[in-house]
Amino acid sequence: MSKYYLNYLDELESEAIYVLREVYSQFQNPVILFSGGKDSIVLTHLAKKAFFPAKIPFALMHVDTGHNFPETIQFRDDLIEKLGARLIVGSVQESIDNGRVAEEKGKNATRNALQTTTLLDAIESNKVDCAIGGGRRDEEKARAKERFFSHRDDFGQWDPKNQRPELWNLFNGKCFEGEHFRAFPISNWTEMDVWNYIKRENIEIPSLYFAHEREVVWRNGSWIPNSEYLIMDEGDEIVRKKIRFRTLGDITITGGIESEADTLEKIVEEVSAMRQTERGNRADDKRSETAMEDRKRQGYF
């Protein structure tokens, strides 16, 4: 009987497909939160597998900070066209223009925290009852406590101490008007699993993940890309480096690493030898020890 077992990537895939089908069955209007990063790309690929031969039954929702890598937006639009899916964009710029949020000031200013308001507004105005995210429990200590089906109250808030128990594979997605859920089908995946899966499935990802030449500035221990949004400081020096990005967020806060990895094989090899966490290059997580927990409580991704 020994041949009747799955290897761990197959088991993780099967689990994620199961979760996606539960989301589809338990909610009226779920969307995939699509950032253009590798995790949300893997999520979209899994959704394609879960409902084959039907099309993906979810719209893709992108919270657009306005501070994007142009490559990400191009990639997003191409993917939407290929899938024939619907795209919903929540614009942080609009939230600023409407006075819903105020822009941070200074050279380390980011629109990262502002996304929460835009995200919650987009969820409310589109009557979304479940937002499917690519969050993984290995990313961060607050995420380690996250459920597959995670309840948000009518203010969009997460209450980590009062979460619904989640046993076996029995998910409880019942919610009242105005509340919503976040679902995390790849909760149990690690960064390494995601890369191995991308390689195995040969999933297309933005060119930013591959080593390329770019103008960058050394800041807080990583290479921040030069862009029209970058506020230069005295002593900042723009240099050209061969870099790649391990995660993709706003162009203002996503740091790259020096790398020669220009193929999926080389990336997988590089990641498996990495001695730093992937979020180590994200300025948004460095603000305090509980930066992620605090943002998540308020309704962040």
Partner 1 sequence: MEIDKNQLLRFTTAGSVDDGKSTLIGRLLFDSKSIFEDQISAVETTSKKKGHEGVDLALFTDGLRDEREQGITIDVAYRYFTTPKRKFIIADTPGHIQYTRNMVTGASTANAAIILVDARHGVIEQTKRHAFIASLLQIPHIIVCVNKMDLVDFDEKAYNNVISQFEEFSSKLLVRDVRFIPISALLGDNVVNRSEDMDWYQGAPLLHTLETLHISSDVNKVDARFPVQTVIRPQREGYIDYRGYAGRIASGIFRPGDEVTVMPSGFTSKISSIDTFDGPVQEAFVPMSVTMTLEDDIDISRGDMIVRSNNKAEASQDVEVMLCWLNDKPAKPRAKYAIRHTTNEQLAMIKEVIYKIDINTLERKSDDTELNMNDICKVKIRTTKPLMIDPYRENRNTGSIILIDESTNETVAAGMVV
**Which residues of the chain form contacts with partner 1 (CB under 8 A)?**
1-2, 4-15, 17-18, 21-22, 24-25, 48-55, 137-138, 141-142, 144-145, 160-161, 163-170, 172, 174-176, 187-188, 190, 192-193, 196, 272, 274-277, 280, 289-290, 293
60, two tokens: 């893709």
Q: How far is the CB of 66 from partner 1 (least distance, A)?
A: 29
Cα distances from 122 to residues 61, 146, 156, 219, 222, in angstroms, run 8, 22, 11, 33, 32
Give the span between the Cα atoms of 26 and 14, in whole angstroms.
18
Residue 136 contacts residue 187 (beta carbons within 8 Å): yes
Residue 194 contacts residue 38 (beta carbons within 8 Å): yes
The dihedrals phi and psi of 289, each to the nearest 5 degrees, come to -65, -30
Provide the 8-state DSSP code for 230. Answer: P
Greatest CA span in the chain, whole angstroms? Answer: 68
Which residues lie across from 180 on neighbouring strands?
Answer: 152
CB closer to partner 1 out of 127 and 275: 275
Give the span between the Cα atoms of 150 and 159, in whole angstroms.
10
Residue 272 contacts residue 192 (beta carbons within 8 Å): yes
Q: How far is the CB of 167 from partner 1 (least distance, A)?
A: 4
CB closer to partner 1 out of 263 and 276: 276
- For residue 88, give the 3-state DSSP assignment: strand
Please, where are the H alpha helices in 217-290?
264-272
CB closer to partner 1 out of 138 and 270: 138
Q: How far is the CB of 207 from partner 1 (least distance, A)?
A: 25
- For residue 272, give the 3-state DSSP assignment: helix
Q: How far is the CB of 85 from partner 1 (least distance, A)?
A: 14
CB closer to partner 1 out of 111 and 244: 244
CB closer to partner 1 out of 177 and 234: 177
Q: How far is the CB of 93 from partner 1 (least distance, A)?
A: 32
Q: How far is the CB of 15 from partner 1 (least distance, A)?
A: 7
Q: How far is the CB of 25 from partner 1 (least distance, A)?
A: 5
CB closer to partner 1 out of 86 and 240: 86
Q: How far is the CB of 95 from partner 1 (least distance, A)?
A: 28
What does DSSP say about strands 212-219 and 149-152: parallel, antiparallel, or unpaired?
unpaired
CB closer to partner 1 out of 10 and 265: 10
CB closer to partner 1 out of 53 and 99: 53
Give the span between the Cα atoms of 77 and 86, in whole angstroms.
10
Specify the residue for token string 């290995």. Answer: 138
Specify the residue for token string 């909760």. Answer: 187
Burial class (CB in 10 A: 0-12, 13-18, 19+), 63: buried
